[in-house]
Amino acid sequence: MATVSVGNGLPPYTVRRSSRAKRARLTVTAEGQAVVVLPQRAPAGSAQLLVARHADWVRRHVARAVSRQRHLDRRPALSDGRILAVNAIPHRVRLQSDSTMLRGGVRRTLDTDDDGIVGLLEVRHPAGSDPVPLLDHWLREHAREVLHERVTALAPVVGVRPTSISVRDQQTRWGSASRAGSLSFSWRLLLAPPFVLDAVVVHELAHLRHANHGAAFWALARSHAPRTDEARRWLRANRTELRSALD
């Protein structure tokens, strides 16, 4: 890929050729880079035409991405006590190296202050080891508990019976549903507000009745998760922060 700087006030962009692309596509990455994906045989000039046609859109989304990145850059490091919102409860992370430990682990404690319930995630790890996998494992296990609980509560309301539930770290989806009735969710939903997690759960449960995104599907999803549209906007606005929560 090569960055192209053009005149006429157009924002800079990068062109990438793809054998799988059937038409030109314009995106803005989480880092604020405009990217034009072109089919192999598309004329090079079509990239500039596409950027020119959507220049205001590019500038707006680049500015948002840069602002989000600056926000992420201002976060404390995990080692400095970063705050993670775990199921809507703020938890401060504390890393403790211990030369006497062989495996390590995470201990969670909850307390109250003037703002309500607050938590502490104390990650004890062997000296010289990386503590992040321990925290990652704890968050996944806790997400599994929360998601199983919410699926169990909401499935009868939606009128379906999922066959299995898995919790992973999908990079492109917050959840998925198969025709066989298996559901899969991203553990990072644990870091989203509960209404957002519930909206994703209902979304995938609704797919067990409607495999597409037609009118009947959306009517069912919104009837059981009235804040579905708000949840979708929240995920779009905060996806970068969730994806980089442990970075």
**pLDDT surpasses 90 at 11:** no
* pLDDT tens-digit series, residues 35-65: 999 999 999 889 999 999 999 999 999 998 8
**CATH code matching the domain that covers 79-243, chosen among 3.30.420.40, 3.40.980.20, 3.30.2010.10, 3.40.50.450:** 3.30.2010.10
Determine how many CB atoms are found less than 10 A away from the CB of residue 74: 7
Mean pLDDT of the chain, nearest integer: 92
State residue 7's pLDDT score.
55
Confidence at 2, pLDDT banded by 50, 70, 90: low
Nearest to 44 by CA among 71, 58, 24, 26: 24
**pLDDT surpasses 60 at 5:** no
State residue 95's pLDDT score.
96
State residue 8's pLDDT score.
63
Confidence at 171, pLDDT banded by 50, 70, 90: confident
State residue 175's pLDDT score.
97
Residues 105-134 as b/e (b if ≥16 CB within 10 A, e otherwise) read ebeeeeeeeeeeebbebebbbbeeeebeeb
Residue at token pair 């996998």: 133
State residue 149's pLDDT score.
98
Contact call for residues 167 and 190 (beta carbons, < 8 A): no
Confidence at 93, pLDDT banded by 50, 70, 90: very high
State residue 6's pLDDT score.
57
Domain residue ranges of the chain, discontinuous segments joined by +: 2-73, 79-243
State residue 3's pLDDT score.
53
Residue 192 contacts by C-beta under 8 Å, 6 or more apart in sequence?
234, 235, 238, 242
State residue 173's pLDDT score.
92
State residue 18's pLDDT score.
92
State residue 182's pLDDT score.
97
Amino acid at 205: L
State residue 229's pLDDT score.
97
**pLDDT surpasses 70 at 217:** yes
Q: Helices in the chain by DSSP H: which ranges? A: 45-53, 55-73, 132-158, 194-207, 215-224, 228-243
* pLDDT tens-digit series, residues 172-203: 899 999 999 999 999 999 999 999 999 999 99
Q: Which residue has the higher pLDDT, 89 or 114?
A: 89
Asked which of 31-40, 69-78, 123-132 is least confident by mean pLDDT, the reply is 69-78
Q: How confident is the model over 24-45, as a mean pLDDT?
A: 90
**pLDDT surpasses 90 at 32:** no
